[in-house]
Amino acid sequence: MNLITLIKIGWRNIWRNKKRSLVVILSIVLGLYGGLIIASLMITLNTQRMDTAINTYLADIQIHDKEYSKEYSLSDTISNIQYLEEKLKTDPRIKSYSKRAVINGMLSNSTGSYGVNVLGIDPESEIKVTNVYSKLIEGDYFESKRLNTMIVGEKLANKLNLKLRSKVVIAFQDVNGDITSLLFRVEGIFKSGNGMFDDYNVFVKNNSIFSNMPNLNSYHEIPILTTDENATQSLKFDLQKIDNSLEVKSWDEIAVELAYANKMLSSFLYIFMLIVLSGLSFGIINTMLMAILERKKEIGMLMSIGMTKIYIFLMICFETVFLSLVAIPFSLMITYFTVDYFSVSGIDLSVVGSGLENFGVGTILYLKLPIEYYLNLSLLVILISSISSIFPAIRALKINPVEATKSI
């Protein structure tokens, strides 16, 4: 008997009891489909969380003075910024950049006070780097000609009962260490999808800061968007060489928790799928054991006419693997159409929107699943099926052909 004949026998055997085989196939289909959809959900959540952070405030790279991150002092501004800008404008790896004056202060009105991070921006250049302008739910994005206008997050607005045209005062220590207060009027309210960001950050025109603080002679932060994800690291290293006083960090160095979650996600997903499929393997083992016990006489007869134990072992293994090979294409097809549909229409999770926003994710999830997960998880199913076939195959080898054929 050759291997091709053995494979044909194994294929025919799984259809001798169609109902039982279909139950096993259906369980594999649902198990793999469920695992792939959960993987897609987790990848989508993590990706949208990163995208929200990068597109809202992080950008791909940020430049600061080296002393700035120690105490966030107003005096620790970026030196020789004109020379730096000349380099940024001519570098083909840079898509866009902006300049920010950053102040940590106390925002107050008649309702109360709250600590905020004030981002002084140039509205025209900032819209090329971040997407806060597109997240406005009320008001305008710095269309007023007045200098003292402000954009606030929805969560902060709700805490301090801020409305459009509400007046607020921001108190902070200036460059000389003196307490300074600036008056602003709310021009717009945004909802970025990241509740923590909306709760703590406000945007103002940088001219409103510089006009009231003549001693502030430069900017604290330069966020940069790169043309390609692969260019980020090389650009970062080149920018560090321009001036030793600069601190250049990519987004994953600034938001370490996001980068760590992204690195750990893949490992976690494979561990999760391994647990799910390991549970599924017990059903496969049980089904194959039942099939062997039902075919005890048949297997005994095959042994009696000269089929070797290695062929008996391989026959059982082929039967088990064939069940998964039949199930996998259906799982992949259903998963692909599900992910493709919800990648466009999205899944509305506004019921738990507040929780998602605190996590840094919007209420609409647009599913995505990289192609390698389809392949890798399919191979994992085949591996689990192969391992599951070992115990039933060993059980088949223990059948005594003499006893098994007595009743024939």
Is the pLDDT at 150 greater than 90, yes or no?
yes
Q: How many CA atoms lie within 13 A of 71 on its CB side?
A: 8
Measured between alpha carbons, how far is 60 from 277 in angstroms, rounded to an integer?
Answer: 38
Q: How many residues does the chain have?
A: 408
Q: What is the pLDDT of residue 404?
A: 62
User: Residue 88 is encoded by which pair of tokens?
Assistant: 């940024």
Residue 156: which of 203, 201, 117 has the closest Cα? 201
Asked whether the CA dihedral 303, 309, 311, 316 is positive or negative, the reply is: positive
Q: What is the pLDDT of residue 31?
A: 85
Residue 213: which of 105, 127, 114 has the closest Cα? 105
pTM above 0.75, yes or no: yes
Q: What is the pLDDT of residue 137?
A: 93
- φ/ψ region of 195 (left if φ > 0, alpha if ψ in -120 to 50, else beta) reads alpha
Q: What is the pLDDT of residue 176?
A: 82
Q: At what angle do helices 371-388 and 309-345 cross, to 10 degrees?
A: 150
Measured between alpha carbons, how far is 15 from 28 in angstroms, rounded to an integer?
Answer: 16
Measured between alpha carbons, how far is 370 from 333 in angstroms, rounded to an integer?
Answer: 14
Is the pLDDT at 407 greater than 60, yes or no?
no
pLDDT digits (tens, 9 = 90+) for 267-305: 888 888 888 888 888 888 888 888 787 777 877 787 777
Task: Give kind and range of the element (H or E) at residue 247.
Answer: strand 246-250
Is the pLDDT at 17 greater than 90, yes or no?
no
Helix-strand-coil percent breakdown of the chain, rounded to 5? 55, 20, 25
**Mean of pLDDT values over 182-204:** 91
Measured between alpha carbons, how far is 368 from 372 in angstroms, rounded to an integer?
Answer: 12
Tell me which range, 7-21, 155-169, 261-275, is most confidently predicted by mean pLDDT: 155-169
What is the DSSP code (8-state) at residue 132? G
Q: What is the pLDDT of residue 235?
A: 92
Q: What is the pLDDT of residue 291?
A: 79
Q: What is the pLDDT of residue 65?
A: 93
Is the pLDDT at 12 greater than 90, yes or no?
no
